[in-house]
Structure 1
Amino acid sequence: MRRTASPLSLVLLGAGTFLLVLAAMLAWYVEPRAQRTPIDTDVTTVFAGQGSYFDTKKVKTVKGTPLTITRKVRGDVADSEKSGRAIWDVATSVDTDASLPAADPHDALQWTLERWVTDRKTNRPVHCCEESPYFEGEAYLKFPFGVEKRSYSWWDNTLGGTVQLAYQGTKKIQGHEGYRFTAKVDAVKTGTRQVPGMLVGQPARGQVLAEEWYANHGIELVADQRTGRILFAAIGPRKTLRAPGGDTDEVVLLESERIAFTKDTQKKQVELAAADGRRLVLVGLTVPVGAGVLGLLLAAAGTVLVVRGRRKDDEAAPAAELSPS
C-alpha cells in the first residue's frame, strides 16, 4: 500500500488553506461590514466660546458673555436593532454661565430634543422610526466611513437645510490628523415669531410677527478619514429678529463669532476615532495580511512535503516490486 503524504504535510496544507480563506473573508467580507454606524453610542460634546444673547429679564442683548453648547447623543439600541437603522436621540442645549449646570434643560437659553435615523452603511438619512426633524444631506453628527477629499452636503438644523462643505486639506487635532471642511451661511429667513412691536422698531404696534433670520460666520469641521468621526467642530451662529418685511436686524437673539469644541471634547473624540480606527485596521489589514502571509507559508510547506512524499514513494516502488514474495 502506498503512502502519498505524511499527516504533517496534510495538516500544514489544510491550515495554510484555511488561513488564506480567512484572510480573504476578513478583508473583503468582514471588514466592509464592520464599517457600520454604531447603535450603542453614548457621547457628549461641548462647545465653548464668547458671544451675545437676548436676556429676556433685562429685555436687551447682553454682549461678551461666555456661551456653552452641550450636545448629548445616545443610541436607541432596541429600536435600532428592530429597524436595522442607526437611531440616535440628540439633546442640545445652549447655556450661559448662569444656567450651568442646569437642573432642568428648559432653563437653558435654547434646548432641543431630536431623533436622527440614518443608514448604518452610507450615513444617509432614513425617514422612518419617528425621525425628528426631517433632514437631508450626507453628514450631520458624523461623516460616512472613508471620508473623501471632496465637498459634502452638511445638514444645518438651525437653517433647516443643507450647507455645502468645501474640503480644505488636512489639520491635526490633538496630534491626530483629519480632513478639514469649511462653509459659511449667508443671512436667510428661517421663520417668524410673535413679539412686542417695540422690540423690532415698531412701538406703535402691540404684537407683530417678527421675522427670524439666521446666518453663520463660519463652520469648520475636522473629520477622521477612516471612521468619519468629527474630531473638531467650530461654528459662528447669528440669530436675529427683523420687523415684518424689514431688511435690517433689529434684535440679536444669539451670536458668536466662533464657538468650538473644548480641549476635553477634542481629546475624547480623537481617542474614540483612534480606537475605532485600530479595530478597522485590525480586521481589514493587520489580521488579513498576517493570516495571508502565514497561510501562504504553511500551504507552501505542506505542498513541498506532499511532493517530497510522493517522490520517495515513486522511488521506493520499483525496489518493492523486485523483492521476493
Structure 2
Amino acid sequence: MRSRVIGAALFGVGVLALVFAGGLAFVVAPQAERLPYDLERTQSVAEAPNARFMQITNGKAEVNQATLRSTITVQPDAKETAKLDGSLDGNAVVWLVGQEVIRTDTKALISAYSTSLALDRKSGAAQQWDKQWLDTGSNRQSVNYSGQIYKFPFGTEKKTYEIFDRDINTTQPARFVKTEQINGLETYQFTQEIRDATQPLPADRLQLLVGQLVPGATTGRVSYSNTRKVWVEPTTGQFVKVEETQSKKLVGDNGQETVILDAVFTYTDDAIARSADTAGSNRQLLQMVNLWGPLALAVIGLVLVIVGLLMALRRPRVATVGGSVPEPRRGSGRHADTGPAGDADPGRDGPQKADR
C-alpha cells in the first residue's frame, strides 16, 4: 500500500514537471525572445584614428585631420511606448537614440543627431510609426525608418538583411559573409556596400559648403560611400562589433571635388568587450529558457512518471507465517496432509498388520 502511495505521488510530480517543460518552451520562451520594455540605457563607442573630416567653426568650413570618437546612446522611451496602438501595441518598443562625434584632441563637437523610432520587439526592425523623427542639429524632421538599424533579429540567420543608413535615409542590403569568434563568442559577420550615393543636404547648407570648399562651382552634391561591417551574436541579434569605412566628397558642378570625410570607425576594445559580455550573458539566459530548461524538466518528468507507474502498478507481496510458505507433506493416500487426525502411527498400524 505504501509503495502505491509513493508511486502515485511521483507520477503526479512527473506530470507537473512535463507541464512546466511545455509552458517554458511554448509560453515563456517566445516572450523571452523579445525586446524588453525596461531596457537599460546603453552606449557604444567607436573611434577613427587619423581621420580627415570637415569642421565648421563660426560659419567657416575647413577640412582637418585628427582622431574622431563616435558615441551612440540608446534608451527606451516608456512614455511613447505606452501610447502605441493598433498592431504596434505590445509588439513594438520606442527607442530614443543619440550620437555625438567629437575630435579627441580638442573635444570639439563635429556632428550630432538624435532620433526617435519604433522597433519590432522580435525582429528588431524599424516599424512604420507616424511619430518618428530625426534631428541633425538644424531642425527636427520626419523620417521613414525601415530595416535593421541598431539590432538584428533574435535568431539571426545566415542570409542578407536590409540595414538602414541614416546618411542617405534608405536601406541597402547587408550580406552574410562568415562566422567569426570575438572574445570567445561566435558571431555572424555581415557586410553592406554603399557606393557613390548622394547624401541629401538642405539647399542653404549645400550652397555654403560649395561656396567655401569648391571655388568656381555654383552648385554640387555630396557623394557618399560606406563599407559597413557588422558582427552579430545570432541568438540575441545584438551587435558585438561594428566597423565603418566612410568616405564623403563634395563634388561641384564644375567637376572639382573636395574630400570632406575619410575615416574608418571601429568599436573600441572596451566597447567590444562590453558588447560581447552582454550578448554572451543574454545568450545563456535564452538557451536556458529555450533548450536546457525544457529539456531537463522533460527528462525529469518522464523518469518520475515511469517510476511512479511501476511503483503504483506493482502487485503487493503475500504475507506468510515464519516468513515462508510451508510445503505440503507427501502422505500415504489416507489424507496424510490433513493434520493430526490424519497422521499415521507406524508403531501401531505395523504390528497389527503383522499379527493378521
Give the TM-score range, shorter chain.
0.7 to 0.9
Residue 199 of structure 1 pairs with residue 212 of structure 2: yes
Residue 254 of structure 1 pairs with residue 261 of structure 2: yes
- Structure-2 residue corresponding to 1:221: 230
In 2, the alpha carbon distance for the partners of 1:9 and 1:266 equals 53
In 1, the alpha carbon distance for the partners of 2:261 and 2:209 equals 18
**Identity between Structure 1 and Structure 2 (%):** 24
**Do 1:195 and 1:209's aligned partners in 2 also have CA atoms closer than 8 Å?**
no
In 1, the alpha carbon distance for the partners of 2:214 and 2:117 equals 39
- Specify the code of the residue in structure 2 equivalent to 1:62: N
- Structure-1 residue corresponding to 2:342: none
- Structure-2 residue corresponding to 1:61: 63
In 2, the alpha carbon distance for the partners of 1:267 and 1:300 equals 47
Q: How far did residue 210 of structure 1 move?
A: 3.6
The normalised TM-score by structure 2 is 0.77
- Structure-1 residue corresponding to 2:145: 135
Q: 1:298 aligns with which of 290, 296, 304?
A: 304
Deviation larger for 170-179 or 120-129: 120-129
- Structure-1 residue corresponding to 2:139: none
Q: How far did residue 5 of structure 1 move?
A: 7.5
The normalised TM-score by structure 1 is 0.84
How does 1:14-29 map onto structure 2 within 5 Å? Answer: 14-29=12-27
Residue 212 of structure 1 pairs with residue 222 of structure 2: yes
Post-superposition CA distance 1:225-248 (Å, at most 9, x none): 1000000000011223222x4555
- Structure-2 residue corresponding to 1:48: 47
Q: How far did residue 60 of structure 1 move?
A: 2.7
- Structure-2 residue corresponding to 1:90: 97
In 1, the alpha carbon distance for the partners of 2:311 and 2:3 equals 7
Larger radius of gyration: 2
**Do 2:168 and 2:200's aligned partners in 1 also have CA atoms closer than 8 Å?**
no
**Do 2:62 and 2:213's aligned partners in 1 also have CA atoms closer than 8 Å?**
no
- Structure-1 residue corresponding to 2:177: 168
CA RMSD in angstroms comes to 2.3
- Specify the code of the residue in structure 1 equivalent to 2:282: D
Which SS does the other structure have where 1:12 is aligned? Answer: helix
- Specify the code of the residue in structure 2 equivalent to 1:252: V
- Specify the code of the residue in structure 1 equivalent to 2:40: T
Which SS does the other structure have where 1:113 is aligned? Answer: strand
Which SS does the other structure have where 1:130 is aligned? Answer: coil
Which SS does the other structure have where 2:289 is aligned? Answer: helix
Which SS does the other structure have where 2:29 is aligned? Answer: helix
**Do 1:200 and 1:210's aligned partners in 2 also have CA atoms closer than 8 Å?**
no
Post-superposition CA distance 1:60-81 (Å, at most 9, x none): 3123x10111100011133334
Which SS does the other structure have where 1:109 is aligned? Answer: strand
**Do 2:238 and 2:279's aligned partners in 1 also have CA atoms closer than 8 Å?**
yes
